[in-house]
Structure formats: C-alpha cells, structure tokens
Amino acid sequence: MQIGEKIKRIRTTFNLTQEELGQDLHLTRQTISNWEKGKSYPSIQDIVTISDRYHVSLDELLKEDQEMLAHFESVDRQSVRQQYLYALAYCISIVCLAIGLLSRYVTLSSQVTTVAAIILLVSVITLYLTVQKPVVIYRNKWALLALAIAFLYFISQIDGIPTAVNTSFSLGMLMGSVFSLFLKMSVVYFIPQVPQLFRTKK
C-alpha cells in the first residue's frame, strides 16, 4: 500500500476532510489531495508529524512503498550533489574575490580580471541557487556587521564614480561599479555560510 492510501485511511479513521487534515498539518487541501492521489509525496517532517499526531508508527507508514523510498533516495542524492556544488562555488567565489582585491594592489592583466569576474558571477548565481540555509541578516549581527564593513571598504575602492550621469560612458562606468559591488557583497554574504562538507562533526 502506498503512503497516499495510508494517509487517506488515517484521515477517514479520524473522520477528517482533506481540508481539516491540511489545517492540522499547516498545509493546503490540494497538498493532501496530491498525496492521496500519488501525485506527490509528503516530506520526512510531514510523515513524522502524522506519525506523532495520529499515533501511527513510522514503520507502518513507510514500509512497502517502494516508489516513495526511491523518491527519498533520489532527493537525498540531489541534496548531496547540491552540497558539493555549493562547496565548489563557495571556494571559487572566495578565490575570485581575492583576485579582485589583489588587482587593486598588484598589476594583473585585464584578461585575468575579466575571466575572474565572469567565473565569480557564475559562482555567485550557483551559491544563490544551492544554498540550503541562508543567513537571515537582521537576525545575525555578525553577518550584518561584516556586510556593513565590506560595503564601506568596497565603496572606498571604487574610483571615479561620476557625480552626474551625462554620457553613456559615465553610465557604463557607474553600472560596472555597481555590478562589481554586488558581486563582492554577495561573496561576503555567503562567507558565514560555510558549506556543510567543511564543518567538523562534534
């Protein structure tokens, strides 16, 4: 028996409508309907909640549903791939940030800085797409302080921001400076979010 059928049986045993069950689990009626029809699967947390609230063992909910087990295995593999991708993008972003800062004090070819900027852009996009637990800035005073200091520092590095945008050249300079600032600040934002692969297990 699939888990959707088991959830439907639990719901009918407790004389609940799909909407009432959804309210108990803080989900929509459509979500419950999709579970019961086998169109989607509940998360592990939802399964644990159902087990606790309706006094059904996890073993009873999970056993015999090979499709759901295969689904969770696929989700787990995807999560591991995302962790490795995030770790790789994290390292590349820090290296590219270092190259960008170094270019202020050491003469580097324009090709090197351009390639580093492109790679940094790809890495930052990858970080935004794969981060699992983003830092909530207003709840993390240290991350907020780091961003504020970095913002002031990067602003001080920008030379020749036009006071008035009169020409396409000055507009291009302004946009380039803002874009560079965004990339660098993005890396600083992700620095506190150390990849799980690098964390030591206690």
- How is the chain split into domains, by residue range? 3-54, 80-198
**Which phi and psi (to 5°) does residue 179 adopt?**
-65, -45
Q: What is the predicted pLDDT for the residue at 174?
A: 66
Does residue 100 contact residue 117 with C-beta atoms inside 8 Å? Answer: yes
Alpha helices in 38-158 (DSSP H): 44-54, 58-62, 66-102, 110-130, 141-157
- Of residues 104 and 57, more confidently modeled: 57
Q: Could you tell me which of 118, 110, 93, 77 has the C-alpha nearest to residue 184?
A: 93
Amino acid in the structure at residue 94: I
d(CA 26, CA 37): 19
User: Thinking of the domain 3-54, which architecture would CATH place it in?
Assistant: Orthogonal Bundle (1.10)
The total number of residues shown for the chain amounts to 202
Does the reported pTM lie above 0.75?
no
pLDDT at residue 163, as a whole number: 52
Chain segment 81-140, per-residue pLDDT in tens: 888 999 999 999 999 888 888 877 788 787 888 888 899 999 999 999 988 777 777 777
- Cβ neighbours of 89 (radius 10 Å): 24
Confidence at residue 153, expressed as pLDDT on a 0 to 100 scale: 78
Q: Using CA atoms, how far apart are residues 48 and 72, in angstroms rounded to an integer?
A: 14
Helix (H) or strand (E) holding 167: none
pLDDT of residue 196: 80
| Tokens at 108, concatenated | 């580097």
Helix 3-13 to helix 44-54 angle (10° resolution) is 30
**CA 70 to centroid of chain Cα atoms:** 24
